[in-house]
Structure 1
Amino acid sequence: MDKNYWIDYYKKNKAPKQPSLFAMNIINILQPQKKLLELGCGNGRDSIFFANKGILVTGIDQAESSIRKLNEEHTDITFLLDDFVNTNLFNENNYDYIYSRFSMHSISLEDEKKLLNKAYKSLKNDGKIFIEARSIKDDFYGLGEKIGKNEYIYEKHYRRFIEINETEKYMKEIGYKIELCVEDKGFAVYKNQDPVVIRIIASK
């Protein structure tokens, strides 16, 4: 995880404040009073959006200044300073929903597999996981210094680009039931950027 990059990014208050397209796309699937864990909540924009719709949200991130500000401004939501791969929040059968937007590609493939296993155990029966992440078809793929399989450091920022078939296969092996697995543009438009991203929705 490129921890220092994200700490600096959120200190500069660069991130959009409105909910992501992904959050708005899935909101009709979510039910009020159900428990949701957001992995890598950043400035909290999606966590806040979900909470305002009656979802019981816990958001975790390693950006200390961001978590501190969120706790000061949103006392009705649980925001925790933590490493979302190694957090002890993954209690068995604890969450109705686990949400990971643009955080899966910030960790290694080894950590992705560890995370997906922990998340599966932590979901209640019929609970769902929602994933959006950068694809190997992204325009940034191949730029910068290659440090591993599909891993690059470009402009001092680590990214791992995800192979959709690899992640889908591994999730099925764990036991997830894949409900949606798509790869396209138009999902994460930001200013003049429209990257190819992956969206996966799966249930336990």
Structure 2
Amino acid sequence: MHRHFILFKPYGYVSQFVSETKKKKVLGELYDFPEGTMAIGRLDEASEGLLLLTTDGKISEQVRSSSVEKEYYAQVDGLIPEEALRQLREGIEIRTEKELHQTRPCQVRKLEEAPALPERARNIRDARHGPTSWISLTLTEGKFRQVRKMTATVGFPTLRLVRARIGSMTVAGMAAGEVLEVESFALVAPVGDIASGG
């Protein structure tokens, strides 16, 4: 029987179980996962939020497919205007590891207030450094550091990034570092009219 887990990955942890350096915090420090558990996709060390883990390698491809939405909350530097949101919705050119990539149209909206999230282990900064904005981005692709590259390209670098949802699974109500074992992943949520941004 395969086992499946959802994790609210905290800031400062890498999405792996073994690290080449003892300075890196790894997922095995958060929970006693069974042998053969793998993370599906990754969040970089500075990113937080929903990470799915499983002992079933066949599920990984389904989760990473373009039929499953991934929603991120990004706190960006400055007061982001509608024009920048429009550019993000329509798709922009970013540099990936090897080439330029045109992002797909996606859903982007400005959040009127900060989302209810656990405190981050390390503070972002305080109000003396200027205003920030929170936005929601819902993507159906996942290039390396894509959200950070997208917001930087339109002039509003990401200060905090949290993956809030994969399909219909969310981190709502979870504490940073919390792990829940589930019977299966409820992944397939209808992909909306992403080009409209709504």
With normalisation by structure 2, the TM-score equals 0.25
Identify which of structures 1 and 2 has the higher relative contact order when contacts are C-alpha pairs closer than 8 Å and 6+ apart. 2
Larger Rg: 2
Higher helix share: 1
